[in-house]
Amino acid sequence: MIKYYVRVSTVEQKLDRQLLAYDKADIIYSDKVSGKDKERPQLKLLLEGLVPGDIVVVKSLDRLSRSTVDLLEIAKEIENKKATLKVLDKDIDTSTAIGKFFLTIIGAVAELERENIRERVLEGVAIAKEEGKYKGRKKGSIELKGDSLDRFIKFYKKGFNKTDLAKEFGVPRATIYRWEKVLKERGEL
């Protein structure tokens, strides 16, 4: 069975680009949560349900994980279940030795590049702050509406704690507290 895993970091982002990239999946698993954390509901479901011969497909490595260690752990779990991993944009197939090798190398290079980008952003922010040009994110820039609002209310009423809600919605815990306050003021919680 072909199992396609798609992920975006926040509920506001769309999965369309990934969904259009591959149409041969028997089942699609999708998460809307940061790739920094390996604990993602749909990824967990996918991995638990693997059987020998299954093929896990992702559009790109960063959809599966942002960490080389996590990426290799996920790949090992797929391999232990006698399934294979295919990465579309790098044409990686872990059913081959060269595919396993490239997965390790590309994962490490991708993590290095993310760290370099992060450092450059932090340097740019520091310079902008010194020049008085940086004031941080605008208040209320992460809004909750539509289906996300309905999902938040449902999860909140089921008793999800603030940390779990923050992970589920891909936002900081402070945002969860703000949403809770606003929704209580509006009488929706």
**What pLDDT sits at residue 138?**
57
Q: Classify residue 117: in a domain, yes or no.
A: no
The arithmetic mean of pLDDT across residues 141-164, rounded, is 81
The verdict on 93 and 167 lying in the same domain is: no
Whether residue 9 lies in the annotated active site: yes
Phi/psi of residue 169, each to 5°?
A: -100, 0
The verdict on 24 and 103 lying in the same domain is: yes
C-alpha–C-alpha distance, residues 98 and 82, integer Å: 17
Side-by-side strand order, sheet with 84-87? 27-32, 2-8, 55-58, 84-87, 92-93
The verdict on 14 and 84 lying in the same domain is: yes
pLDDT digits (tens, 9 = 90+) for 85-128: 999 998 999 999 899 898 888 878 877 887 888 899 899 888 98
Q: What is the CATH number of the domain that holds 178?
A: 1.10.10
Q: Which of 54, 86, 107 is the last residue of a domain?
A: 107
**What confidence category does residue 5 fall into, taking pLDDT thresholds of 50, 70 and 90?**
very high
C-alpha–C-alpha distance, residues 187 and 189, integer Å: 6
The verdict on 157 and 82 lying in the same domain is: no
The answer to whether residues 124 and 133 touch, using CB atoms and an 8 Å cutoff, is no
The arithmetic mean of pLDDT across residues 33-57, rounded, is 91
**What pLDDT sits at residue 115?**
86
The answer to whether residues 94 and 85 touch, using CB atoms and an 8 Å cutoff, is yes
Q: What is the CATH number of the domain that holds 9?
A: 3.40.50.1390
pLDDT digits (tens, 9 = 90+) for 161-170: 888 888 888 8
Q: Classify residue 139: in a domain, yes or no.
A: no
Q: Classify residue 130: in a domain, yes or no.
A: no
pLDDT digits (tens, 9 = 90+) for 125-147: 889 888 888 776 655 556 777 77
Q: Classify residue 15: in a domain, yes or no.
A: yes
Catalytic residue among 9, 30, 60, 148: 9
Q: Classify residue 74: in a domain, yes or no.
A: yes
Question: H helices of 49-96, where?
Answer: 61-64, 68-80
The verdict on 10 and 75 lying in the same domain is: yes
Q: Classify residue 69: in a domain, yes or no.
A: yes
Query: In sequence order, what are the residues at sequence separation of 6 or more whose Cβ sits closer than 8 angstroms to the Cβ of residue 1?
Result: 26, 27, 51, 53, 54, 55
Whole-number mean pLDDT of the chain? 87
The verdict on 103 and 21 lying in the same domain is: yes
Q: 10 is in which domain, residue-wise?
A: 2-107
Q: Which of 83, 107, 131 is the last residue of a domain?
A: 107
- Of 107, 93, 113, 2, give the one whose Cα is nearest residue 53: 2
What is the count of structural domains for the chain? 2
Q: Classify residue 25: in a domain, yes or no.
A: yes
